[in-house]
C-alpha cells in the first residue's frame, strides 16, 4: 500500500475537492501542536454510508465539547461525503471526516482567532483486524487507563483522547496482539483502543457502561439488535475479575464492525454462536 500522503484521488477540504497529494496543512496548524481536532470514522456499504447523519451530528457535537464551532451543517457534511465518494468512484469505503483549528494569529494554548477547518477523505479498507473475524482477536491489557470525565471530554471523538490508545496498541502489537483492552480510571473494564466491548455469560450480554468513554454508534446499533433478538443486555460496570467467568467476547466499532475476541491477556473466550450471529446480523443490516 502507498503511504496515505501519496495516493491518487481527491480529498474534500474547506468546501472543495483537492487532488489527494495537495490536501496539506501548515506546520503551525494549532491542532498539530495542541490536539484541537475532532473526527469521525464511517463506512460506506454498496453506495450507502451506514448511519452517516448520526456521524455528522456527532462530529458537530464533538466540536462543541472541545469549544470549537465547526462551520458546516449536517446537510453540508453529508453532501461533502457524497462528493468525495463520487469523485473517487467508490461504493465501498471508509470515510474520515476531521475538523481542526488551523494556523492563524494564535500560536499558544488559546486559539480563538484561528480558523476552524475541515476535510473529508475516504479510502478502500478491508477488515480492521484481518482474519480475527474468523478465529477471534488476541488482546493485550493496557497499562494506560481511560481518564475521568472531569479530566477530559470523554464523549467527544477528539484526537487528544487517542494518544494513550496509540501507545497501548503499539505495546500490544509488540506482543503479537491485535489490540489492547483498557480499564477506566476506577479500574473497571472500559474498551479497546478503538472499539467498544461486549461479553457473554449464560446466554446474556454484558457491556461496560460508557460513562467515561465514547458510547459508539456501532455499540448502540448492536445493543438494539440484541434487544430485537430478545437477548438480555446488561450495561454496567464490569470488574476485572469477572473476565474469567465470561464465555464469549466481541468488539464493536465502525472500523472493527463486529469482531469476536479469542483472548484477553490470560483469559480465553470461545468464538461462539452468539458472537458469530451478531457479526452476521450486523453485516446484513449495514448492507440492507
Give me the residue spans of the domains in the chain.
Answer: 10-123, 132-286
pLDDT at 2: 85
pLDDT (mean) for 239-254: 98
CATH of 10-123, one of 3.30.470.10, 3.30.110.40, 3.10.580.10, 3.40.50.720: 3.30.470.10
pLDDT (mean) for 237-244: 98
210-236 pLDDT per residue, tens: 999 999 999 999 999 999 999 999 999
Going by the DSSP 8-state scheme, the letter that residue 105 receives in this structure is S
| Domain 10-123 matches domain 132-286 at the CATH topology level | no
CA angle 29, 34, 35 (to 5 degrees): 90
Q: Which of these is catalytic: 81, 133, 138, 157?
A: 157
Contacts of residue 253, Cβ cutoff 8 Å, sequence gap at least 6: 41, 128, 192, 194, 195, 196, 216, 218, 219
15-69 pLDDT per residue, tens: 999 999 999 999 999 999 999 999 999 999 999 999 999 999 999 999 999 999 9
pLDDT at 135: 83
CATH of 132-286, one of 2.40.30.170, 1.10.150.120, 3.10.20.30, 3.20.10.10: 3.20.10.10
Give the position of cell 477528539: 158
90-114 pLDDT per residue, tens: 999 999 999 999 999 999 999 999 9
Q: Coil, helix or strand for 54?
A: helix
pLDDT (mean) for 185-206: 98
Statement: residue 1 has pLDDT above 80: no
pLDDT (mean) for 186-200: 98
Residue 224: in which H helix or E strand, if any?
Answer: helix 217-228
CA angle 193, 131, 204 (to 5 degrees): 65
Pairing of strands 116-123, 10-13: antiparallel
pTM equals 0.95
CA angle 146, 197, 214 (to 5 degrees): 45
Q: Is 169 a catalytic residue?
A: no
Going by the DSSP 8-state scheme, the letter that residue 34 receives in this structure is H
Angstrom distance (rounded) from CA 91 to CA 75: 20
pLDDT at 127: 76
Statement: residue 129 has pLDDT above 80: no
Amino acid at each position: 500500500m502507498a503511504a496515505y500522503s501519496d495516493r491518487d484521488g481527491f480529498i474534500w477540504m474547506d468546501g472543495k475537492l483537492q487532488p489527494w497529494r495537495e490536501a496539506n496543512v501548515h506546520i503551525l496548524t494549532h491542532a498539530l501542536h495542541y490536539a484541537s481536532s475532532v473526527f469521525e470514522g464511517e463506512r460506506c456499504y454498496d453506495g450507502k454510508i451506514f448511519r452517516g447523519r448520526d456521524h455528522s451530528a456527532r462530529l458537530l457535537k464533538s466540536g462543541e465539547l472541545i469549544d470549537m464551532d465547526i462551520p458546516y451543517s449536517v446537510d453540508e457534511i453529508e453532501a461533502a461525503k457524497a462528493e468525495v465518494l463520487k469523485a473517487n468512484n467508490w461504493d465501498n469505503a471508509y470515510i474520515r471526516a476531521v475538523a481542526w483549528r488551523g494556523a492563524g494569529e494564535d500560536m499558544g494554548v488559546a486559539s480563538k482567532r484561528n480558523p476552524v477547518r475541515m476535510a473529508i477523505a475516504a479510502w478502500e479498507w478491508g477488515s480492521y483486524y484481518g482474519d480475527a473475524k474468523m478465529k477471534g482477536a488476541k488482546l493485550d491489557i493496557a497499562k494506560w487507563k481511560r481518564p475521568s470525565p472531569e479530566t477530559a471530554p470523554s464523549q467527544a471523538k477528539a484526537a487528544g483522547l487517542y494518544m494513550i490508545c496509540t501507545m497501548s496498541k503499539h505495546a500490544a502489537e509488540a506482543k503479537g496482539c491485535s489490540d489492547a483492552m483498557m480499564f477506566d480510571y476506577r479500574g473497571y473494564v472500559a474498551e479497546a483502543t478503538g472499539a467498544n466491548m461486549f461479553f457473554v455469560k449464560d446466554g446474556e450480554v454484558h457491556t461496560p457502561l460508557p460513562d467515561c468513554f465514547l458510547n459508539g454508534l456501532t455499540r448502540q446499533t448492536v445493543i438494539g439488535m440484541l434487544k430485537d433478538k430478545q437477548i438480555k443486555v446488561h450495561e454496567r460496570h464490569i470488574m476485572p475479575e469477572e473476565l474469567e467467568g465470561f464465555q464469549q467476547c466481541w468488539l464493536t466499532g465502525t472500523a472493527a464492525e463486529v469482531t469476536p475476541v479469542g483472548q484477553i491477556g490470560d483469559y480465553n473466550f470461545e468464538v461462539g454462536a452468539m458472537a458469530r450471529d451478531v457479526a452476521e446480523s450486523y453485516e446484513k443490516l449495514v448492507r440492507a
